[in-house]
Amino acid sequence: MNTATLTIREANPETDYERLAVLISAASVQPVTAQHIRGWDKNNPSRQIRRRAVGINDDGQIVAYSVVVREARNVQFQRFYIGITVDETYRRQGIGTQMFDDAKAFATENGARELSSETLDNDADSLRFAEKRGYHIHTHSFASHLDLTGFDEKPYVHSILRAEASGIRFSTLAAEGNTPEVQFKLYTLNNQTAQDNPAADKREPFPTFEIFQHQVFNADWFNPNGQFLAIDGDKYVGLGAVALDGGIAYSAFTGVDKNYRGRGIAQTLKLLTIRYAIANGASALLTDNDSKNAAMLRVNRKFGFQPQVGTYGLRSKQNASGMARNVRIWLTL
């Protein structure tokens, strides 16, 4: 294999992001636009480290991309995310290795002790690249797609009656006022139900309220009308979050307090997000769930969600010195 000559530099948002969107989309379940990338850049709280870099060949073409991120919540563990993608035409020329080595060096210089990322489960080349470097599959999540054209809600409406008969009221963040106090109650429920997820990494720190406000409540996609709540008295016991992106809706998170499960709350929240998506012109609803989250996978199958390409989380068995590490790496090479 001949190693291609590559120049690596930081990405320029004004001149590079359209090309980056093409590269990222090729490695993603859903298409990404330059505007999406700019929105991610905007959503950058203090203490977060982020670098986007491009790999340029001798012809001046951007043929590869890398991103290195340490989220503010991961300062304690110095956990960095590395993502790499190489234009399919230019693979097997050593470009992926050069981009990874550069990204890893940046993370190391900034104190990285752990690395995390992901790869599509149908990308055998990327998986082989990672496995040759000592990585193994650690998690597996599934993307799912629900066609909303002609969706019939009648088989699912009974769940609303069942939940309401048990004393549950359904509302939205907008209807509850979307005040800092209300946001904090929703944040607390997000934290609690996220930790209850069977696939949750118990060492993974949940974002602080301030970071959550910045990354969620201030995000471009956020709409308080799309944050559905299940309420018992004045206690928030369930949530269903949905985001809109053109004609596509994304079910970002559905969670129910473990003491309130079995009452049809999750199914009701899912139905409310579907109604919201249809009312706002969406033709499809997308979501993803970890393979260990059997309960939510059952709910999605009940509504007719169809499985799509999934995602592997990969972990390293050991670092260069042979010491055990919790390291995950995502590559599209």
Q: How much is the mean pLDDT over the chain?
A: 86
Q: Phi then psi for 164, rounded to 5 degrees?
A: -65, -35
Residue with tokens 């982020």: 50
pLDDT of residue 46: 67
Q: What is the pLDDT of residue 198?
A: 63
**Which amino acid, one-letter code, is at 91?**
R
Return the minimum-mean-pLDDT range out of 94-103, 122-131, 323-332.
323-332
* Confidence (pLDDT) at 167: 95
Write down the domain spans for the chain.
Answer: 7-134+317-332, 143-311
- Asked if the domains at 7-134+317-332 and 143-311 fall in one CATH topology, the answer is yes
Tokens representing residue 1 in the block = 């294999």
Pick the CATH number of 143-311 from 3.40.605.10, 3.40.50.300, 3.40.630.30, 2.40.50.140: 3.40.630.30
Each residue's pLDDT tens digit, 51-80: 999 999 999 999 999 999 887 666 666 778
pLDDT tens-digit map of 110-152: 988 877 778 899 999 998 887 776 677 888 888 899 999 989 9
Phi, psi (5° rounding) for residue 162? -65, -45
**Residue for token digits 């308080």?**
224
pLDDT of residue 195: 78
Q: Confirm if 255 and 239 have CB atoms less than 8 A apart.
A: yes
What is the predicted pLDDT for the residue at 318? 35
What does the alpha-carbon distance between residue 296 and residue 287 come to, in Å, rounded to a whole number? 11
* CATH fold for domain 7-134+317-332: Aminopeptidase (3.40.630)
Q: 132: helix, coil or strand?
A: helix
- The rounded distance, in Å, linking the Cα atoms of 43 and 29 is 21
